[in-house]
Amino acid sequence: MTLTTAPTTDDAPSRAWAGRLSSLVLVIGVTALVGFFAVGQIRGSEAFKQRLQSENEGDLTRILAGLTTEADALRDEISTLKLQLLQLQSSQAADSASAATTDAQLRSLRVLAGTVAVNGPGLTVKIDDPEASLFYDTMIDVVAELRDAGAEALALNGRRIGAGSAFGERDDKITLDGISLDAPYTVVAIGPAATLEGGLKIPGGALDVLSSLRGVAVDLQRVAKLEVPALTNPPRFRVGKEEDG
């Protein structure tokens, strides 16, 4: 004898419940996506949620597809904005580096021109000349050798020596830019002290010449911090002009 199970009426409610459960899951998924992409517009909107729940599966699928497309477009826009931001940051960094380089060059030129005061390590050269044996040409040699050895700023008896400075002689005294100077003389040179001292001690150089003069005594001192003033009368250009472009 074969036993068969007669169909019961419980299967219909089960299928109906499964359909409602599927729709509910889809509604929850769409609602979550809407909350993620448009939370500022729909948060707290019960009417919108109720409208979603009233849609059939086909409409909900189209809504989900539309949200997915919008999400892709938003991601593309975010990527574009990030790229633009990186380009702007790179451009700003390049501009900052260029400005820093220009500023450093300007400061270096001001130091070399003597238009600004300078401080830093260097060498002092004290020259005692009680018998007035020293002439201005030897002082020029001292300054030139210090410059050749890397002096970035120079002063003599507290007066800055610039690119256009001139030494001379008046009433048996050495003059710098027309100002008479009295012995003892003190040359201040800012730069690498050891190199500056080595430059003066080159055989046959300025230090040997000074040592050969009657009554002249020279004292070299390396100093951690020296100060050199700006030029009293900075150079002014009356003829030469900066080229345009």
Beta strands in 52-143 (DSSP E): 118-128
Question: Is the dihedral angle over the CA atoms 221, 222, 227, 231 positive or is it negative?
Answer: positive
What residues does 175 pair with on adjacent strands? Answer: 168, 180
Check pLDDT > 60 for residue 12.
no
What is the number of other CB atoms lying within 10 angstroms of the CB of residue 146? Answer: 26
- In the chain, domain spans: 14-113, 117-228
Instruction: Please give the pLDDT value at position 78.
Output: 80
Confidence of residue 27 (pLDDT cuts 50, 70, 90): very low
Residues 85 and 79: their CA atoms lie apart, in Å, by 10
Report the distance separating Cα 214 and Cα 182, nearest Å. Answer: 17
CATH topology of domain 117-228: Alpha-Beta Plaits (3.30.70)
What integer best gives the mean pLDDT of the chain?
78
Q: Which residues of 152-183 are buried (b: 16+ CB within 10 A; e: fewer)?
A: bbbbbeebbbbeebebeeeeeebebbeeebeb
Task: Over range 53-66, report the average pLDDT.
Answer: 62
